[in-house]
Structure 1
Amino acid sequence: MDEITTSIVGIDFPNADKTRSNRRMEILLCAPGDRVTLRREPKNPHDSNAVGVWSERDIQLGYISAERAPMIGRRLQAEETSALFQAMHQGGAYIR
């Protein structure tokens, strides 16, 4: 499989968990090379192709961009896929 670097978007929205965890704060706790989990969300009311990004601590960091989500979602269905946190940038973060 080819490696893809992509942005995490939506990091300034609160999570829907009981504590309404802070995505930006969770990203600050991530180090380059940390594993992240990608989860398809076919029942997402805003985008049936949505792919969420979750930290090793099982806190949502945000989403794959709407432009990349369909392709990455197909890969998640078709083959074993892993992702790593790469770096934070001012507007979000990158994963690979």
Structure 2
Amino acid sequence: MKHLSLAIVGADFENKTGPGRRFEIALCIPGEPVELRPEPNNPADKNAIAVYSARSIQIGYIRAERAPLIGAAMHRGIVQAIFQKKEKWGATIRAHLDGTVPVLPLVDDSRANDWPPPGSEDADWWPDEVWPDD
């Protein structure tokens, strides 16, 4: 898994200063860079990774289930991310864990109405398909 779409949660929490997270998400444009900032002193989760917009306003956090994976890749210095889209829970970002510049994935409208599948434990992310010639 080198290229991932990741859910950004916590959009309904207030920022300490500046505009609210939902307001900032509304300003984000698909494809613009986002910054990932580890928060090792976060009292809720030592693996927490905050996500900031291109304007340096926090829009939320990478979900706790994915934070260790992304944090390990960040420790190696190879993660780049862009804003992908607004979501009911907050937002989705696109992250490349191999040092390449992220690009927006092609939209598959056929799964737009049934994704995430009901009852899915990992409904907030999905890896790219790997074709046999890769």
Is TM > 0.5 for Structure 1 vs Structure 2? yes
Gaps of 5+ in 1: none
Q: Could you list the runs of 4 or more consecutive aligned residues of structure 1 that deviate by over 4 angstroms after TM superposition?
A: none
User: TM-score of the superposition, structure 1-length normalised?
Assistant: 0.93
Corresponding residue number in structure 2 for 1:14:
14
Give the distance between the partners of 2:89 and 2:13, measured in 1 at CA: 13
Q: CA deviation at 1:4?
A: 0.8
- Mapping for residues 80-95 of structure 1, pairs under 5 Å: 80-95=78-93
Give aligned-pair identity as a percent: 50
Q: CA deviation at 1:51?
A: 0.2
How many pairs align? 94
- Mapping for residues 21-36 of structure 1, pairs under 5 Å: 21-36=19-34
RMSD over aligned CA atoms reads: 1.1
Q: Which amino acid aligns with 1:58?
A: S
Q: Which amino acid aligns with 1:12?
A: D
Compare relative contact order (CA 8 Å, sep 6+) and give the higher one, 1 or 2. 1
Q: CA deviation at 1:80?
A: 2.5
Give the distance between the partners of 1:87 and 1:2, measured in 2 at CA: 19
Q: Which has the higher strand share?
A: 1
2:68 paired residue among 67, 70, 76 = 70
Q: CA deviation at 1:95?
A: 0.2
User: TM-score of the superposition, structure 2-length normalised?
Assistant: 0.67
Corresponding residue number in structure 1 for 2:77:
79
Which whole-Å deviations, capped at 9, do the CAs of 1:22-71 have from their partners, x for residues lacking one?
00000000010010000000000110000000001000000000000011
Corresponding residue number in structure 1 for 2:41:
43
Give the secondary-structure state (helix, strand or coil) at the position aligned to 1:4: strand
Give the distance between the partners of 2:63 and 2:89, measured in 1 at CA: 13
